[in-house]
């Protein structure tokens, strides 16, 4: 589906595409939010606020690795399960390489487990025994795994949306009343200012017109809608953080991922011997160091 670059007042030639885009988003949200689990029981209370067991998805990414570093050094956290998709190199070794390259803790205690998973599969692709162990012990989920590709359509991210639904089902069935923290994106409300609405509120927005014009942003918006519904219907403690541009860390060792847009521009400019005259809407430097962002997530 070709997506229009105009949202505030779509012209006649773009109106059908504009309507199809909204309809597709609503259809996906309705499909994955239907039959949300209803849980009337009182979940077991955490033994202590200082006794936390955390599932972290996407731990090998820039933000994920910094969050993992902080979790391992947090005395309140006694167990960490890192969820990552299978790769030629096992996630534990990939994690170690990334941590060392960025000056982070690379010696993993026995309390850290690396599980290769697929959130869209039953039991996250894990054995029934492992899944049951997680259900009994996990207190918090930090869902940070999400592929970033701004040219993919919304349909490409359907498995990611399904993964959010699987996490909702897990939290509802969990013994400890697992809370779910979702790393969303400012892209989910990227068109807010184009509609002259003023400052974006720190709450769920139900205006389907405000999502950014990319499958990535639309999928984040759809997931936010589903999580908001789960907080009410399934009685799950939900947290959502809309993240903007995360840059390199503040510490001396570490780097900004060279595959991200700004480092890529620098590399290309050095090769071409020229720099862009303007970056359009990206001209404003409004970046947050990735280690500072990780600290915010932990807090």
Residue 85: pLDDT over 50: yes
pLDDT confidence of residue 198: 80
Closest CA to 226 of 179, 173, 183, 162: 162
pLDDT confidence of residue 57: 98
Per-residue pLDDT of 159-187, as tens digits, reads 999 999 999 999 999 999 999 999 999 99
pLDDT band at 5 (very low <50, low <70, confident <90, very high): very low
Lowest mean pLDDT among 52-56, 187-191, 276-280: 276-280
Helices (H) and strands (E) in the chain, counts: 8, 8
Mean pLDDT score of the chain, rounded to an integer? 89
pLDDT confidence of residue 9: 43
Q: In the chain, list all ranges with CATH 3.40.50.720.
A: 52-245+287-298
pLDDT confidence of residue 44: 57
Length of the chain in terms of residues written: 299
- 281 CB-contact burial (10 Å; exposed 0-12 / middle 13-18 / buried 19+): exposed
pLDDT band at 286 (very low <50, low <70, confident <90, very high): confident
Residue-wise burial string across 155-187, b where 16 or more C-beta atoms lie within 10 A, e elsewhere? eebbebbbbbbbbbbbbbebebbbbbbbbbbbb
pLDDT confidence of residue 254: 80
pTM of the complete model: 0.89
Q: What's 249's DSSP letter?
A: -
Q: At the topology level of CATH, where does 52-245+287-298 sit?
A: Rossmann fold (3.40.50)
Per-residue pLDDT of 89-142, as tens digits, reads 999 999 999 999 999 999 999 999 999 999 999 999 999 999 999 999 999 999
Residue 180 dihedral angles phi and psi, to the nearest 5°: -130, 115
């Amino acid at each position: 589906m070709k997506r229009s670059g105009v949202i505030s007042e779509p012209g006649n030639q773009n109106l059908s595409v504009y309507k199809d885009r909204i309809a597709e988003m609503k259809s996906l949200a309705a499909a994955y939010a239907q039959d949300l689990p209803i849980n009337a029981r009182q979940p077991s209370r955490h033994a202590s606020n200082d006794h936390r067991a955390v599932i972290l998805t996407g731990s090998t990414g820039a933000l994920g690795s910094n969050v993992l570093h902080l979790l391992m050094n947090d005395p309140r956290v006694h167990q960490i399960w890192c969820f990552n998709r299978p790769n030629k190199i096992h996630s534990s070794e990939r994690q170690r390489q990334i941590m060392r390259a960025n000056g982070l803790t690379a010696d993993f205690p026995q309390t850290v487990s690396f599980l290769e998973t697929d959130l869209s599969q039953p039991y996250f692709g894990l054995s029934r025994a492992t899944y049951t162990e997680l259900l009994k012990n996990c207190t918090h989920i930090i869902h940070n795994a999400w592929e970033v590709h701004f040219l993919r359509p919304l349909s490409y991210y359907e498995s990611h949306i399904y993964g959010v639904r699987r996490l909702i089902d897990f939290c509802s069935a969990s013994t400890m009343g697992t809370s779910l923290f979702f790393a969303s994106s400012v892209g989910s409300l990227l068109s807010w200012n184009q509609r002259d609405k003023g400052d974006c509120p720190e709450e769920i927005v139900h205006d389907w017109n405000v999502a950014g014009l990319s499958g990535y942003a639309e999928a984040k918006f759809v997931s936010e809608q589903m999580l908001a519904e789960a907080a009410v219907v399934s009685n799950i403690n939900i947290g959502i953080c809309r993240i903007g541009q995360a840059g390199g860390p503040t510490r001396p060792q570490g780097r900004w991922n060279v595959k991200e847009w700004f480092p890529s521009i620098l590399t290309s400019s050095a090769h071409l011997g020229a720099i862009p005259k303007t970056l359009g809407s990206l001209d404003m430097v409004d970046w947050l160091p990735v280690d500072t962002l990780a600290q915010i997530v932990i807090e």
